[in-house]
Structure 1
Amino acid sequence: MVINKTGDRPSIGIDTGTAYSSVAVWQKDRVEILPNKFGNLLTPSYVAFTDTEVLVGEAAADQLLRNAKNTVFGITRLIGRKFSDPQVQESILHYPFEVVCSPDDKPQVVVQFRGETRVFQPVEILAILLSEMRGIVENYTGKEAKSAVVIVPAYFSYSQRQAVKDAGTIAGLTVMRMICRSTAASMAHGLDKKGPERKVLVVDLGGGTLDMSVVAFEESNFEVLGTAGDVNLGGDDFDRRLVDYCVAEFKKAHDRDLRTNPRAMLRLRKACERAKRVLSISTETTVELEALYDGIDFHPTITRTQFKSLCADLFDRILWSLQQVLSDANLIKDNIHDVVHVGGSTRIPKVKKLLAEFFNGKSLSRVIEGAAVFGAAHLAATLCSEPSPKLDNYLLLDVAPLSLGVEVDGTISTVMIPRSTAVPTKKTETFSTSQDNQSNVHIQVFEGEGWRIGSNPILHEFKLDGIPPLPCGQGKIDITFDVDANDILHVSATEQSMGIAKTVRIVAGCLPPSEIERMRTEAEHFKYLSERNRLRVEARNALETSAYSLRTAAAERITELRQAIEEAKAIEEISEETLRWLEANESAKNEDLHLKQREVAAALSSLRN
């Protein structure tokens, strides 16, 4: 398909979730959630590497069992993190593909691709998913997509968000804004709401993350009052509890460790995922697995009560996040008008019961499937100033997901911008020198909620030099944190007496431009290989279809010819029989001759036709 690269460009929202990805576009004064080439609105967040190409989505997920070591999924749990992060270590225990540590303590994925061992950063895998979503839009609209609003988990750190931006750049997209999944879903819920202000809590429990937002709606204004969540709590974690239970039961019954057999584990995970869904509508289910290991059939029965017991601490973590989001929003339960749940894992009966009981029996609402990506596309249209009366006077005020602070010369950590502060925002604090005749100060910018020095991730550090010699405590330095609507942080330090200043733009974890360009070029090559293979497969399929059509046509013609030959033989027999009759009937009557003439004429007519 030819893509128009000069006309208007579509406003799009993208959600690359742990389990599934989706994309929506604003056109004709409304949001459309777009189907992929298989007609599905949700695309599995899987990327597979083969001997010939890179597969994405259903094509990748469908070959997982036979190509497990080269099929990558759950990438949002690796992106923007350090390899030594305990959560990364926990995640890689459950992956069939190999994850190794880079020299700078970053996780890297190792696969076999086109006969070679290749190492990819998580940002490259995410870029492939983003590129796939971009392709869906371009194929649907015929227009080039260059920018998007991208959904991220609520508690994604600054480094993780920067990694998402880098992935967008590699995929040929400018990430205009990142928005929390639950906040985006709240927009879909509140766009058509009119009247006085209502405070809504949106709980999004998806495949890999838990996101919560308290949003105040008033006409077309959306103000986020607080966000909370857990980037390591989702449907996958509930699945793992069932998997762990089944592994233990199999070990107890057969004295064999399923974890030593990757194929058996993949089959078990799929079966446990199905069992979890069945338990949402039934009180009991049986995991049916034939010849799971060494020819042994495995049919454990699991009740809903057992499931609740296995996942008790996960439900407690949901409760903790509920309390946290209300605290951040400075609200109590009674201040919430509506509770909205979204995400496949909120269908778990215990989750719905937990939410209802926490809010004293309040009825729950559910928004449309794809609500988050719907809201993201709507925001994208607003940011792109799409000409539409439906976007007039529309405003979204978001919040900082994590606290931002500073340490000066190793002193006590000072929080400059607390978590859930409305953004954009700006804050200045004054600090004093800690020594006589101090000529510089060492400034560390951190992110997180730890109160001890060194307990939070350092985003950036720099020195302000040239401070005039003054007694201890008399040198004054103003430090300013400035966060804009695009989550870009600028930190400035200014010495008061002489105005010596330094400003830095925080780009934690940002890849060098040369590295991004290398990855972008490689991603384009992967896309070219996949497209070339797609065209080859299509040409092969077309040729095969033509060959089968030709075979069918030939067979039909042969049948027709055989029938014609049989008919001709029958007619030939009529002619021979007539000649024999004439020899035997020299004195035949006139009427008999005419009768025979009609028979021969009829045979001749049928032969000519």
Structure 2
Amino acid sequence: MSVVGVDFGTLKTVIAVARNRGVDVITNEVSNRSTPSMVGFGPKSRYLGETAKTQEITNLKNTVNSLKRLIGRSFNDPDIQTEQQYITAPLVDVNGQVGAEVSYLGKVERFSATQLVAMYLSKIKQTASNELKLPVSDICISVPPWFTDIQRRALLDAAEIAGLKVLRLINDTTSAALGWGITKLDLPAPEEKPRRVCIVDLGHSYYTVSIVEFKKGELAVKATAWDRNFGGRDFDKALVDHLAKEFKGKYKVDIHTHPRAMARTTFAAEKTKKILSANQQAPVNIESLMNDIDASSMVTRQEFEAMIEPLLNRTHVPLEQALAQAKLTKDDIDVVEVIGGGSRVPAIKERIQAFFGKNLSYTMNADEAVARGAAFSCAILSPVFRVRDFAVQDIVSYPIEFAWEKAPDIPDEDTSLTVFNSGNVMPSTKILTFYRKQPFDLEARYAKPEELPGRTNPWIGRFSVKGVKADGADDFMICKLKARVNIHGILNVETGYYVEDQEVEEEVKEGEGEDKKDPDAMDTDNKDDAPKKTRKVKKQVRKGDLPISSGTASLDDATKATLSEKENAMVMEDKLVADTEEKKNELEAYIYDLRAKLDDQYAEFASEDEKATIKEKLEAAEDWLYDEGEDTTKGVYTAKLDEIRAMAGPIVQRHFEKVEADRQRVEAELAAKRAAAEEARKAAEAEKAAEAEKAGGNGAADQEMKDADATPTESDEAGVPK
């Protein structure tokens, strides 16, 4: 079983895996450490990740990017209308949520954002499986802290459709904080002052700041603030607008009227931004921008910073908000850790450093820190992986309230209550108590809709409590409901039960409710024999469960099963197309390979007639391949390949037999040489042994003579002369 962390980004996605006593970032099919977050559609198959990026410029209307910005949003949201400028495929309404209209397999199809993300996660799953040589199921996915309940549910649905089990949706900066802290061996002890770290993450489309307190074996997020529309792509857009204006004056072309010209300029702008992060100026060269015009320009870093000045002026806002939320000052922060690709812009670093008045820290990989933290989180939660215990305590991003209808028998009852406040610990559980005589409903919603992204519906879910009934006309059933914001940041009313007030006897502890005795007085009573004092108290005793039916933004099981089947069918279609293309390439390669070998390796094994016949067949197959065989089925390519192989079989067999005979001859010669060498070795050993034995024999004779000389005479033994 594998343990995988996924940083699902707006621009690209990084996959990390826990293994080899650490965490590795795995590479995709073209050896890149990140995969474009993009899905494309064609006449034969889908294009996912790298292949989608490769064909994007020629297939703009059928390529969807910024998937993360679409998930869980409605088409009418003004944020989505703004998002269209970054997405080349037309966005449409699909059953109440945003989706894309594309041409797939020759037909116009509409896919919801949930389906599009599921397609992409299928690719991520495949990439991880190919690298690990293991099936991938359990994963941890990072999300922005500003994601709402509906967005988080949609992402979980997409993962389930893709056949993945999400152990945790973890906020980006929390994930990075976990990666920062779990490897530190010098964190303060629980009773000491915590180490406070400000994690600043500036990504492709948004900017997040979290203040986190670390102690040995644990982290606690104290505050999180963000700017949802401030990231690397906004820097790119400022540069694109500048170049569009310049090209209009210089070349009399308007790139805004030409999607491909716009896409080419955006690619050039992103490249220029990266060059300016390390250089004072950068050239811009775009071949065949539009109308066969090659465009060029030169941008200095000073000019670029002037273009993004309005964005730079917003840098301090989330920093101030996070400090205020955590009730801390700049001096209370021990470390300012900066991550995210957008943070490489020098002007951004300068603004953040000037705000805190201290040097910034760059100990983590800016592009991979979140994915590594997600892999650690997955390893902690996975039962099959051993990892150092590290507690992660996050916070609720938006206040959540419950509302209900007033009970007719309780005229002064409140009808709403904020149960989870912004900044509350997450995961978290609260018990709600209701006095009712009959079944009732309650709704969960966000208490401050103005804080939500765009015009997100503040509604979270409706929960119907069944099985409520009172015993008598004046009695109420005391209903207890367990509301929980779980590890994913999703709200549910998990269970319901009812209790009764019952009188129970409780032992009174010695001295409780009595006058204190004189400590010098002698106690002569036998305490063991004395009767124990008790009192009657009222306690709530759980009597039974209350069924709860929930209505939330999550897809129902039947819909998920249908979409999962559709996704599996598309995966098989993609695989068939890939296998067909592979077989076509194999046929083409075999034609060229066999033609070359007929005049080289196989030359002495084929007659002139055989060569002529096969070459004629190869030429016909090549002509067919580039004409009517350009687009056919896997079976036809396989049949053509088998036909040519059968024709060339006798020649290949002769060559094989010759090679085999040569191999056997060489092996026989080598065996003979080894045998001769072994015989020589044995003879040498035998000769050496004989010499040693001869030398040993002479030594024995000498020893006998010495022994004879040393033998005492009879008179010697007696001690008297003869």
The TM-score by the shorter chain falls in which range? 0.7 to 0.9
Q: 1:392 to 1:292 in 2, by over 3 A?
A: closer
DSSP 3-state at the match of 1:364 = coil
Show the counterpart of 1:148: 139
Q: 1:58 to 1:507 in 2, by over 3 A?
A: farther
DSSP 3-state at the match of 1:287 = strand
2:395 maps to a residue whose letter is V
Measure, in 1, the Cα distance between the counterparts of 2:482 and 2:450.
20
DSSP 3-state at the match of 1:393 = coil
Show the counterpart of 1:426: 429
Q: 1:121 to 1:387 in 2, by over 3 A?
A: closer
Measure, in 1, the Cα distance between the counterparts of 2:580 and 2:371.
33
Which structure has the bigger radius of gyration? 2
Tell me whether 1:350 sits opposite 2:347 in the alignment: yes
Q: 1:298 to 1:412 in 2, by over 3 A?
A: farther
DSSP 3-state at the match of 2:57 = coil
Tell me whether 1:380 sits opposite 2:382 in the alignment: no
Show the counterpart of 1:124: 115
DSSP 3-state at the match of 1:89 = helix
Report the more deviating stretch, 297-306 or 140-149.
Answer: 297-306
- Whether contact under 8 Å (1:48, 1:71) holds in the other structure is yes
Show the counterpart of 1:592: none
Tell me whether 1:394 sits opposite 2:385 in the alignment: no
Cα distance per residue 1:98-143 (max 9 Å; x no partner): 1012352x21101101100011011111112211121122222222
Tell me whether 1:279 sits opposite 2:271 in the alignment: no
Tell me whether 1:326 sits opposite 2:323 in the alignment: yes
- Whether contact under 8 Å (1:427, 1:481) holds in the other structure is yes
Q: 1:372 to 1:482 in 2, by over 3 A?
A: same
Show the counterpart of 1:53: 45
Measure, in 2, the Cα distance between the counterparts of 1:484 and 1:308.
43
- Whether contact under 8 Å (1:210, 1:231) holds in the other structure is yes
| Structure 2 unmatched ranges of 5 or more | 189-193, 407-413, 471-475, 502-542, 609-722
- Whether contact under 8 Å (1:467, 1:495) holds in the other structure is no
Q: 1:441 to 1:560 in 2, by over 3 A?
A: closer
Identity %: 28
Cα distance per residue 1:237-279 (max 9 Å; x no partner): 2211222222233344555432221111111111111111112
TM-score norm. by structure 1 comes to: 0.81
Measure, in 1, the Cα distance between the counterparts of 2:550 and 2:298.
53
Tell me whether 1:248 sits opposite 2:245 in the alignment: yes
Show the counterpart of 2:486: 484
Tell me whether 1:526 sits opposite 2:570 in the alignment: yes
Show the counterpart of 1:447: 446
Q: 1:558 to 1:303 in 2, by over 3 A?
A: same
1:385 maps to a residue whose letter is P
Q: 1:429 to 1:347 in 2, by over 3 A?
A: same
Q: 1:496 to 1:414 in 2, by over 3 A?
A: same
DSSP 3-state at the match of 1:52 = coil
Cα distance per residue 1:3-49 (max 9 Å; x no partner): xxxxxx11111122111112122223222211111111101111111
Show the counterpart of 2:27: 35
Show the counterpart of 2:687: none
The Cα shift of 1:476 comes to: 11
Show the counterpart of 2:184: 193
The Cα shift of 1:351 comes to: 1.1
Measure, in 2, the Cα distance between the counterparts of 1:467 and 1:364.
61
Report the more deviating stretch, 302-311 or 25-34.
Answer: 302-311
1:124 maps to a residue whose letter is Q
Q: 1:556 to 1:304 in 2, by over 3 A?
A: same
| Structure 1 unmatched ranges of 5 or more | 1-8, 469-473, 565-609
Show the counterpart of 1:545: 589
The Cα shift of 1:375 comes to: 1.0
The Cα shift of 1:443 comes to: 4.0
Show the counterpart of 2:89: 97
Show the counterpart of 2:55: 63
Q: 1:62 to 1:416 in 2, by over 3 A?
A: same
Q: 1:479 to 1:311 in 2, by over 3 A?
A: farther
Q: 1:305 to 1:431 in 2, by over 3 A?
A: farther
Measure, in 2, the Cα distance between the counterparts of 1:137 and 1:322.
36
Please show how residues 465-476 of structure 1 align to structure 2 within 5 Å.
none
Q: 1:522 to 1:451 in 2, by over 3 A?
A: closer
Measure, in 1, the Cα distance between the counterparts of 2:29 and 2:284.
32
Q: 1:285 to 1:409 in 2, by over 3 A?
A: farther
Q: 1:455 to 1:522 in 2, by over 3 A?
A: closer
Show the counterpart of 1:134: 125
Show the counterpart of 1:460: 461
Q: 1:543 to 1:334 in 2, by over 3 A?
A: same
Q: 1:246 to 1:424 in 2, by over 3 A?
A: same
Measure, in 1, the Cα distance between the counterparts of 2:70 and 2:264.
23
2:85 maps to a residue whose letter is L
Report the more deviating stretch, 481-490 or 110-119.
Answer: 481-490
- Whether contact under 8 Å (1:328, 1:419) holds in the other structure is no
- Whether contact under 8 Å (2:25, 2:372) holds in the other structure is yes
Show the counterpart of 1:404: 400
Report the more deviating stretch, 175-184 or 318-327.
Answer: 318-327
Report the more deviating stretch, 166-175 or 487-496.
Answer: 487-496
Measure, in 2, the Cα distance between the counterparts of 1:432 and 1:278.
66
Cα distance per residue 1:484-505 (max 9 Å; x no partner): 3343423489999999997867
DSSP 3-state at the match of 2:264 = helix
Show the counterpart of 1:556: 600
RMSD of equivalent CA atoms: 3.4
Measure, in 2, the Cα distance between the counterparts of 1:279 and 1:250.
20
Measure, in 1, the Cα distance between the counterparts of 2:451 and 2:275.
46
The Cα shift of 1:50 comes to: 0.9
2:591 maps to a residue whose letter is A
The Cα shift of 1:220 comes to: 2.2
Show the counterpart of 1:365: 362
DSSP 3-state at the match of 1:240 = helix
Show the counterpart of 2:232: 235
The Cα shift of 1:228 comes to: 2.2
DSSP 3-state at the match of 1:242 = helix
TM-score norm. by structure 2 comes to: 0.69
Q: 1:121 to 1:72 in 2, by over 3 A?
A: same
DSSP 3-state at the match of 1:80 = coil
Show the counterpart of 2:203: 206
Tell me whether 1:224 sits opposite 2:227 in the alignment: no
DSSP 3-state at the match of 1:224 = strand
- Whether contact under 8 Å (2:57, 2:263) holds in the other structure is yes
Q: 1:246 to 1:380 in 2, by over 3 A?
A: same
2:484 maps to a residue whose letter is D
- Whether contact under 8 Å (2:239, 2:269) holds in the other structure is yes
Cα distance per residue 1:213-237 (max 9 Å; x no partner): 2222222212222222233332112
The Cα shift of 1:442 comes to: 6.8
- Whether contact under 8 Å (1:428, 1:481) holds in the other structure is yes
Report the more deviating stretch, 398-407 or 200-209.
Answer: 398-407
- Whether contact under 8 Å (1:153, 1:231) holds in the other structure is no
Please show how residues 297-336 of structure 1 align to structure 2 within 5 Å.
297-336=294-333
Tell me whether 1:162 sits opposite 2:153 in the alignment: yes
1:380 maps to a residue whose letter is C
Q: 1:507 to 1:191 in 2, by over 3 A?
A: farther
The Cα shift of 1:414 comes to: 4.8
1:374 maps to a residue whose letter is R
Measure, in 2, the Cα distance between the counterparts of 1:532 and 1:452.
47
Measure, in 2, the Cα distance between the counterparts of 1:441 and 1:76.
37
The Cα shift of 1:158 comes to: 0.8
1:198 maps to a residue whose letter is R
Q: 1:265 to 1:147 in 2, by over 3 A?
A: same
- Whether contact under 8 Å (2:441, 2:463) holds in the other structure is yes
The Cα shift of 1:509 comes to: 2.1
